[in-house]
Every structure is written in C-alpha cells, then in structure tokens.
Amino acid sequence: MAGESLTVDHLSVVFQARGGNHAAVRDASFEVGSRRMVGLVGESGSGKTATGLALLGLHDPSTTTIGGSARFGETELLGLPPQAANRLRGSIVGMIFQDPMTALNPLLTIGTQVSETIRIHEGLDRRNARERAIEILARVGLPDPAGRYRRYPHELSGGLRQRAMIAAAIACRPRLLVADEPTTALDLTIQAQILTLLRTLCVDEGMSVLLITHDLGVVGAVCDDVVSMYAGEVVEIGPTKEVLDRPRHPYTARLMASRPRIDGWDERLDVIPGRVPSASSSPTGCLFRPRCRQAREVCEETQELVTLSAGRRVRCIRAVEPDQVSFGAAAVAP
Ligand SMILES: Nc1ncnc2c1ncn2[C@@H]1O[C@H](COP(=O)(O)OP(=O)(O)OP(=O)(O)O)[C@@H](O)[C@H]1O
Ligand SMILES: [Mg+2]
C-alpha cells in the first residue's frame, strides 16, 4: 500500500471561555509522512492534545473554533459535520487517548468494545470478531486475553486498561493513528512492547502515527521525525536524529536538557525556568523570548517557521543567521 500523508496547515484551536478566548494551538503546520512516526513534543499545556483532538474532530464545536486545514491523503479532516467525522474516526483516523477512562465505555466489557469495532469495520461475524479481538488484546501485552475479554474497564488496573484502550484504538486498523502519551502509565517492558507494536503497524502495515509525548527518550527510540511545540506554536521540525543531536530552537534544546536521566540516581529534573505565556493573551514576537537568554530586540518581531533544509524548519531568528549555532541549555534565562 502506498500510504497517505497527513498535512496540517495553519491549524488553530481557540477555546471560548467566560474569561475570554484561549488560543491552545496557533497557526501550526507540520506533516506526518506515509509510514512515518512523528513525535509531537512540548511542555505540559503546549497544545499537543488540543492538536490531536482537532485532527479527530473531537472538540466541542459550541465552545471551540478550529481554523486551518488538515488533509490526510485526499481527505480533509477538519470542519466535517458530526456524522462524517464519526465515519472518519472509525475508518481513517484513530486515537489512543491520554486518559484511558475517557475512551472506554464503563458499561461494556473490554472484549465487546474491541470486537464490536472489528465487526463494524471488517464485517466479521461474532465468533471471528471475538477471536481477532483476543489476538489484538494479546498483541498489546494483556495477560490472559481470553479471560480479560469478559472484564469491565473498572476491573482492570490502570496499566491493563491502558493496553485495552490501545487495542480498541488499533482494532479498526486506522490509517492515521494519534497516540496521546500512550505508554506513560506503563512499566518499561510493556512500554517497549507497545512502542514496538506501533512501529510495526507503521512500517509493515502502512499506518502513519502522530505520537504525542513529553518523553524525548521515547521519541529518540521510535520516531522518524519530531515536531516541537511551545505555547501552541510549532517552533521546530526535523528528522529525529538531527533535532535531538543538534536542536536549533533554544526551547527544544532546553526540553532536552530537562529530561530526567537514569545515569545518576539523585539527578534532579531540570525544569525550564519562567512561564509559558497564557493561552488567553495575544503575545507578539517570539513567544519563548521572555525565557530565552539569546533574546534580542529583533525577537520582538513575529518569527516565521523558516525552512533550513528539506524537512527541517525552525522558528528562531538565530537559526537562520550566518553564525548560527546549535543551542545548549545555557540559552535559557535562569
Ligand atoms: N476544553 C478546554 N477549554 C479551555 N481551555 C482548554 C481546554 N482544553 C485545553 N485547554 C487549554 O489549552 C492549552 C493546551 O492544552 P493541551 O491539553 O493541548 O496541552 P498538552 O500539551 O496536551 O499538555 P499535557 O502535556 O499536560 O497533556 C492549555 O492551556 C489548556 O489549559
Ligand atoms: Mg495532553
């Protein structure tokens, strides 16, 4: 299968709240190529989940305004009427949710939730759908899948629920999967198993994956490309190795410096000093400026996402200057 790409163009997500509008995603553009796994990274509140939910048409239209476009192959994912969005969610796009309890129906057994999806999408009869469902439950590392098939979500531990939810999300074989922190609640062995499974679905079965995570270790292990988000803006895009080896935006560099490390048991998490601008404000210029040591007068002007080379884009004036350097942790104000 040739496979399709996702092209997100000038996506914006604005929540209307009583206190004013909250811009969670601002003019975001990026791609998820065919058979590629792309890591969407950023601090808490940077707009990762808001981006993912927009791609699945899951924001409440009465309180949220979505702008821009997101095409998967020939299909526009944004602005669809509810029924069309629903159809798309069952066939083209799937999502692993950050919170498994929001995705599983507490009144249905795990088995029913996975096998019903299979029945609808593959037209299998009940017995064959059950067999396939048990196979998928085993594939996501659920011990005793036939026994767990009959269990309700509340009868499973958090980690097992997470795996059941992953099974439900991949059961309909989406061509584009948005996986929002899919392995955060899982121990390292299961985490590796799930990531390997996602990678296999991507490379062997042609599923494109947008992997939302704040874990750069996970990104380095499985993602082809990285999209770094700050305060709702995409600030850096590139192939994983290039971005992790040589981040060109000071925010991405600092995200890397704030990774918890396992090579020293008493190592402290190095948080990024300063605050993310509020989603309700309309700041101008580089949004990272107040936290950046390299900030200069020119950073008060609007910064565009500039293409440095094929697939490599950065929203920072320093990255396009002739004496450009890669940034280290020192780029961020104390
Ligand atoms: N339904 C909502 N109504 C109003 N504001 C919201 C809503 N959902 C999210 N936000 C705000 O939008 C911004 C982005 O939130 P989002 O959930 O996308 O962040 P995130 O990058 O996924 O963070 P995390 O890593 O904690 O999951 C935050 O400021 C958040 O408070
Ligand atoms: Mg989130």
Residues 224, 102 share a domain: no
Q: What does residue 103 show for φ and ψ, rounded to 5 degrees? A: -100, -25
Residues 199, 277 share a domain: yes
Query: What domain range includes position 145?
Result: 98-173
Q: Is the CB of 45 under 6 A from ligand 1?
A: yes
* Closest residue by CA, ligand 1 atom 25: 44
Residue pair 24/13 in contact by the 8 Å Cβ criterion: yes
Q: Is the CB of 24 under 6 A from ligand 1?
A: yes
User: Is the model more confident about 157 or about 326?
Assistant: 157
Closest listed ligand to the CA of 48? 1
Using a CB cutoff of 5 Å, list residues around ligand 2, an ion.
49, 98
Count up the domains in the chain and report the number. 2
pLDDT for 72-105, tens place per residue?
999 999 999 989 998 888 789 999 998 877 788 9
pLDDT range class, residue 214, cuts 50, 70, 90: confident
Could you identify the atom of ligand 1 that is nearest to the CA of residue 212? 22
pLDDT at 332: 53
pLDDT at 1: 47
* Closest residue by CA, ligand 1 atom 17: 49
Residues 110, 212 share a domain: no
Residues 248, 185 share a domain: yes
Residues 130, 58 share a domain: no
- The preferred substitution site among 49, 216, 219 for testing ligand 1, maximizing ligand atoms within 8 Å of CB, is 49
* Of 257, 222, 258, the residue nearest 241 (C-alpha): 222
pLDDT at 211: 97
Say whether pLDDT at 106 is over 60: yes
Residues 103, 191 share a domain: no
* Closest residue by CA, ligand 1 atom 28: 45
Q: Is the CB of 42 under 6 A from ligand 1?
A: yes
What is the pTM assigned to this prediction? 0.90
Q: Is the CB of 50 under 6 A from ligand 1?
A: yes
Residues 234, 268 share a domain: yes
Q: Which residues pair with 40 in a beta bridge?
A: 212, 227
pLDDT for 17-44, tens place per residue?
887 889 999 999 999 999 999 999 999 9
Q: Say if 250 falls within a structural domain.
A: yes
Closest listed ligand to the CA of 47? 1
Rg (CA), the chain: 20
Residues 79, 184 share a domain: yes
Say whether pLDDT at 327 is over 60: no
pLDDT at 58: 93
* Of 14, 12, 24, the residue nearest 67 (C-alpha): 12
For tokens 């210029």, what's the residue?
Answer: 285
Residue pair 133/111 in contact by the 8 Å Cβ criterion: yes
Q: What is the mean pLDDT of residues 194-213?
A: 93
Q: Which two tokens stand for residue 176?
A: 């584009």
Give the single-character DSSP code of 249: S
Q: Of 173, 189, 220, at which residue does a domain stop?
A: 173
How much distance in Å is there from the Cα of 138 to the middle of ligand 2? 27
Count CA atoms closer than 13 A to 78's CA, side-chain side: 21
| Mean pLDDT across the chain | 87
Cα separation values, 247 from 45, 187, 329, Å: 21, 29, 11
Phi and psi based region of residue 83 (left: phi greater than 0; alpha: psi -120 to 50; beta: remaining)? alpha
How much distance in Å is there from the Cα of 24 to the middle of ligand 2? 11
Q: Say if 168 falls within a structural domain.
A: yes
Could you identify the atom of ligand 1 that is nearest to the CA of residue 42? 21
Residues 235, 107 share a domain: no
Give the single-character DSSP code of 143: S
Say whether pLDDT at 266 is over 50: no
pLDDT at 74: 93
How much distance in Å is there from the Cα of 220 to the middle of ligand 1? 25
Could you identify the atom of ligand 1 that is nearest to the CA of residue 279? 29
Residue pair 177/96 in contact by the 8 Å Cβ criterion: yes
